[in-house]
């Protein structure tokens, strides 16, 4: 999803997803209209003010000041169900099941100003399960993939430790609900399936890319499940998060490309408050 350079963000992406943001089928507060950033299907419109107010990951416009930059960003400071969070060492036994249909994700990779994002060409979020990329059926609601982006280091931590990278696969349901599949990555062997995205980031210009997600995502994995928010302004709450326990590895060369492009674009963790982290078993199919 092409967005004006340095104007939008990954999480915004979430909300960008058309009036977007709700979690698990529950419309999130102040749903944004189609936007262009983190969660933007076909250049959905950003949350009010998100495209006009400058924010960053450090300095006076950094995360601790987001809530002061605009009234539309109030939840960044005052929200009680914010993301990311610190996750337990192991996925809690929840007994739930989430079906994930995996396919190819074709679209343009572009610099949003806060991350590099792949906006899926057929990511219509109509909930019919036949969109490109992945479709996730969680709590009897179907979410279609609309975009993917990454953070360095990971935004979610596990038992206090961050991973080297976190990929966010942003999905949208027909009623505007948002579900984000989080995939952690650490230094190790090269994962060839990620290379087309790596090459697009290296090119540093809008590039058409085709990702084989069936080879990028783990074959099976339990996932942490909790309700949270967008991790970028306007920090809209009501977002369903599924963070895979299984990780992928990236070679030092692959990591170098991602970290050169974005050396730090991660929000710090927030208290769980009255929430609980649950677990669900992901069942992958094609």
Contact 157, 87 (CB under 8 A): yes
CATH number for the domain whose boundaries are 10-285:
3.10.200.10
Structure confidence by residue, pLDDT tens digits, 181-232: 999 999 999 999 999 999 999 999 999 999 999 999 988 899 999 999 999 9
Amino acid 273: pLDDT: 94
Contact 92, 279 (CB under 8 A): yes
Domain boundary assignment for the chain: 10-285
Per-residue DSSP letter, 160: T
Amino acid 146: pLDDT: 95
- The residue whose two tokens read 């698990």 is 24
Nearest CA-CA partner of 91 in 22, 145, 158:
158
Structure confidence by residue, pLDDT tens digits, 234-252: 999 999 999 999 999 999 9
CA 34 – CA 73 distance, rounded (Å): 17
pTM for the whole structure:
0.82
Nearest CA-CA partner of 156 in 221, 94, 242, 236:
242
Task: Give the Cβ contact number of residue 140 at 10 Å.
Answer: 7
Ranges in the chain, pLDDT < 50: 1-50
Stretch (H or E) spanning 285: strand 278-285
């Amino acid at each position: 999803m092409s967005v004006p350079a340095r104007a939008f963000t990954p999480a915004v992406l979430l909300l960008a997803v058309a009036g977007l943001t709700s979690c698990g089928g529950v419309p999130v507060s102040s749903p944004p209209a189609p936007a262009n950033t983190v969660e933007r299907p076909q250049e959905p419109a950003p949350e009010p003010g998100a495209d006009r107010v400058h924010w960053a990951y450090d300095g006076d416009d950094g995360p601790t000041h987001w809530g002061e930059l605009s009234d539309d960003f109030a939840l960044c400071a005052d929200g009680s169900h914010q993301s990311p969070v610190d996750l337990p060492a192991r996925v809690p036994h929840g007994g739930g099941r989430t079906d994930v249909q995996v396919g190819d994700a074709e679209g343009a990779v572009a610099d949003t100003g806060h991350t590099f994002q792949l906006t899926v060409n057929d990511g219509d979020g109509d909930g019919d399960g036949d969109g490109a990329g992945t479709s996730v059926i969680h709590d009897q609601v179907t979410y279609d993939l609309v975009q993917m982006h990454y953070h360095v280091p990971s935004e979610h931590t596990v038992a206090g430790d961050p991973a080297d990278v976190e990929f966010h696969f942003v999905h949208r349901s027909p009623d505007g609900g948002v579900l984000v599949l989080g995939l952690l990555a650490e230094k190790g062997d090269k994962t060839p399936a990620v290379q087309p995205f790596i090459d697009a980031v290296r090119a540093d210009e809008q590039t058409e890319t085709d990702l084989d997600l069936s080879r990028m995502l783990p074959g099976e994995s339990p996932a942490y499940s909790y309700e949270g928010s967008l991790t970028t302004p306007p920090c809209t709450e009501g977002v369903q998060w599924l963070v895979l326990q299984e990780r992928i590895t990236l070679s030092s060369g692959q990591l170098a490309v991602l970290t050169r492009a974005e050396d730090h674009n991660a929000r710090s963790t927030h208290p769980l408050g009255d929430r609980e982290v649950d677990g669900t078993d992901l069942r992958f199919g094609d």
